[in-house]
Amino acid sequence: MPDQHLTQVRESLKQQQANVDQQLSELNVADQARLLSELKPGDRQYRFEQVKHPAQVLEFLPLDQQLQIANQLTIEQLANVLNAMHSDDFIDLYKQLPIEKQQQLLSKLSVQAHHSLKVLHAYPEETAGALMSSDYVTLSPELTMHEAIATLRDIAGNHDTLYLIYIVDAEQHLVGVISLRQIVQAQPTATIAEVMTREVIYGTVDEDQELIARRLAYYDFIALPIVDAEQRLVGIVTYDDAMDIAEAESTEDFLKAGAVEPLDQLSLKTAPILSLYQKRVFWLVLLVFGSLLSSFGIARYEDIISEHIVLVFFLPLLVGSGGNAGSQSATLMVRALATGDVQFKDWFRLIRRETLVALCLGLTMALAVSILGYIRGDLMVAVVLAISMMGIVLLGCLIGMSLPFVLNKLKLDPASASAPLVTSICDASGVVVYLFVASQLLF
């Protein structure tokens, strides 16, 4: 069984058994990388230099571990590994290397690696150009299927992505796409131009990589061609790269929802203490001052609190309910904006729907809390709690839903409408609503 074999090799690595390199080589390269990533840096470096396919294993390691390994290799060793890597992975690692090492590598890189460096290195981060790979196959539309198969047979050993073949003219303009299945099934004398699909879905080099990943998922493509401003084919984004981007974007949104800055390729296990501190301290300090708004609200209504001390008992309950309701709404809206399910023009329609939902939620919660208010206090306290709960939940839901829209309109990341931020705003507004209602009904 694969998992059992993996466990056995992991134990062999821990015990440093004599035949562990052989056991490791029998695993899939992804599993080899997984086991290497669990080792200490020194052991990882040693075992990496023993593997049979170092370039493939390196591609599956986290980027920070790739960099650690690369910095310990000689220039000749590193050049051999980089030359064997896929172009997009090669560029990602190359960009992280020290400038001095990059310059030393230039004379050692293959012609293909130099081409990839020239084409891919210049594009800004988080664009399709920075994400794309130059590992694709092109054919001329004038070829017959027989000629196409002969051509593919010659170049197949240099490419992993032969499922889709892109058709270009003499100036490299993208004119069509054809699948390997179509080539095999068509008549040998038919030309590619007669069979290919001319309406090609593509991306442009300056598009955001998240949009590219979303387009790949929407059309369920294996790869998406990327063109420049002149419609010339310059690369492809494969499905596995899109999945990596989707995972990275989801991780970033998830961290921001917890008021934590992205870790920038660092692992939680290996990230320096100072980095973890820096990623978390800004929002925590900011939210401390945000919480002062709640204190100001309480100070404003000290008289009503001193007259009806029972109100303090229910303050955390009501304020927490507003924060929870707001966090739910914010989470729904952030996700909907991230997936393109809603846009800013949908705000007015959604605000009406959210109002109805919030009123229903508030009414249900008001009925529950009013019973506690009557038991703990009296009828008027129960009324105050019921009305306050309705208002606080309604306000929390509207804040939680609207804040991501506002941030999106301001060209900021909606994920910054994190649960702690929404909760702090809802806490302050909830205190004011509760004590204002109490001051109007109990005085």
Q: How confident is the model over 40-63, as a mean pLDDT?
A: 87
Residues 418, 323 within the same domain: yes
**Which of 421, 432, 102 shows the shortest CA–CA distance to 299?**
432
* The last residue of a domain, from among 75, 102, 125: 125
Task: For strands 164-168 and 138-139, give the pairing.
Answer: parallel
- How many residues does the structure list for the chain? 443
| Residue 268 falls inside a structural domain | no
pLDDT value at residue 169? 92
Sign (positive or negative) of CA dihedral 102, 108, 110, 115? positive
pLDDT value at residue 187? 92
Q: How confident is the model at residue 1 (pLDDT cuts 50, 70, 90)?
A: very low
* The last residue of a domain, from among 92, 125, 158: 125
Parent domain of 425: 273-442
pLDDT value at residue 418? 62
Residues 252, 277 within the same domain: no
| Residue 422 falls inside a structural domain | yes
pTM of the entire predicted model: 0.60
Dihedral, CA atoms, 74, 77, 80, 81, nearest 10 degrees?
Answer: -100
Lowest mean pLDDT among 84-88, 204-208, 232-236: 84-88
Residues 226, 78 within the same domain: no
16-36 residue pLDDT tens:
777 777 888 888 888 888 888
114-125 residue pLDDT tens:
877 777 677 887
Tokens of 304: 């009503």
Burial of 236 (0-12, 13-18, 19+ CB in 10 A): buried
Residues 46, 154 within the same domain: no
pLDDT value at residue 224? 92
13-18 long-range contacts (CB < 8 A, ≥24 apart) are 13/39, 13/43, 13/47
203 within 8 A of 224, measured Cβ to Cβ = yes
370 within 8 A of 383, measured Cβ to Cβ = yes
Residues 36, 116 within the same domain: yes
What is each CA distance from 220 to 201, 242, 247, in whole angstroms? 11, 11, 17
* The last residue of a domain, from among 206, 231, 257: 257
391 within 8 A of 375, measured Cβ to Cβ = no
Is the confidence at residue 266, as pLDDT, over 70? no
Residues 402, 320 within the same domain: yes
pLDDT value at residue 115? 75
CATH code for position 86: 1.25.60.10
| Residue 424 falls inside a structural domain | yes
DSSP-assigned states of every residue in 45-114 = HHHHTT-S-HHHHHHTS-HHHHHHHHHHS-HHHHHHHHHHS-HHHHHHHHHHS-HHHHHHHHTTS-HHHH
| Residue 216 falls inside a structural domain | yes
| Residue 75 falls inside a structural domain | yes
pLDDT value at residue 364? 93
Taking the C-alpha atoms of residue 423 and residue 326, their distance in angstroms, rounded to an integer, is 7
Is the confidence at residue 277, as pLDDT, over 90? no
pLDDT value at residue 4? 72
CATH code for position 181: 3.10.580.10
Residues 190, 105 within the same domain: no
Residues 100, 16 within the same domain: yes
**Which of 114, 78, 115, 77 shows the shortest CA–CA distance to 93?**
78
Tokens of 397: 């839901």
Domain total of the chain: 3
| Winning range, highest mean pLDDT, from 2-11, 94-103, 301-310, 381-390 | 381-390
Look at 260 and 349; give whichever has higher pLDDT: 349
% of the chain with per-residue pLDDT over 70:
90
Residues 234, 368 within the same domain: no
Taking the C-alpha atoms of residue 276 and residue 334, their distance in angstroms, rounded to an integer, is 25
Residues 80, 195 within the same domain: no
What H or E segment, with its residue span, contains residue 224? Answer: strand 223-227
145-157 residue pLDDT tens:
999 999 888 876 5
**């973890």: which residue's tokens?**
276
Q: How confident is the model over 250-254, as a mean pLDDT?
A: 68
Look at 152 and 294; give whichever has higher pLDDT: 152
- Provide the H-helix boundaries in 97-164: 99-106, 111-120, 128-131, 145-155
418 within 8 A of 257, measured Cβ to Cβ = yes
307 within 8 A of 442, measured Cβ to Cβ = yes
160-218 residue pLDDT tens:
567 789 999 989 999 999 998 999 999 999 999 999 999 999 999 999 888 888 888 88
Is the confidence at residue 3, as pLDDT, over 70? no
What 3-state DSSP class applies to 28?
A: coil
| Residue 132 falls inside a structural domain | no
59 within 8 A of 85, measured Cβ to Cβ = yes
295-322 residue pLDDT tens:
777 788 888 888 888 888 888 888 888 8
| Residue 73 falls inside a structural domain | yes
Residues 358, 410 within the same domain: yes
Q: How confident is the model over 405-420, as a mean pLDDT?
A: 73
Average pLDDT for the chain: 83
Is the confidence at residue 394, as pLDDT, over 90? yes
CATH code for position 435: 1.10.357.20
Residues 365, 407 within the same domain: yes
- Written as one letter, the residue type at 251 is T
| Residue 242 falls inside a structural domain | yes
